Amino acid sequence: MTHWRPWIIVIGLLLMIGCYHMPWFSHTTAGFTMNGFDLAEWTSLHPAVRSSSPAMLTSFLLRVPQLAAAAALALTANQLRDPRSRWLIRAAAMLAALRLIPPTDFFTGASDDPNYRQMALLTAIGAAAVLGSMPLSRVSSRWQVGGLVVILFGGTAAGWWGLSRAHTLLGNFQIDVSIGVGIVGYSLVAVLTAGLALGIGWLRRRHPGLDAARQPVTTG
**pLDDT tens by residue, 111-122:** 899 999 999 999
Say what the pLDDT of residue 109 is.
Answer: 85
Closest of 203, 180, 74, 173 to residue 128, by C-alpha: 74
Mean pLDDT (whole number) for 176-184: 94
CA distance 148 to 22: 23
- Whether the pTM exceeds 0.95: the reply is no
Does pLDDT of 128 surpass 70? yes
What pLDDT is stored for residue 208 in this prediction? Answer: 61
Does 54 score more than 80 pLDDT? yes
Stretch 15-31: mean pLDDT, rounded?
93
Residues 6+ apart with CB under 8 A from 58: 40, 43, 46, 49, 52, 162, 165, 166, 169
Q: What stretch of H or E contains 146?
A: helix 141-172
Of the chain, the percentage scoring pLDDT greater than 90 comes to 71
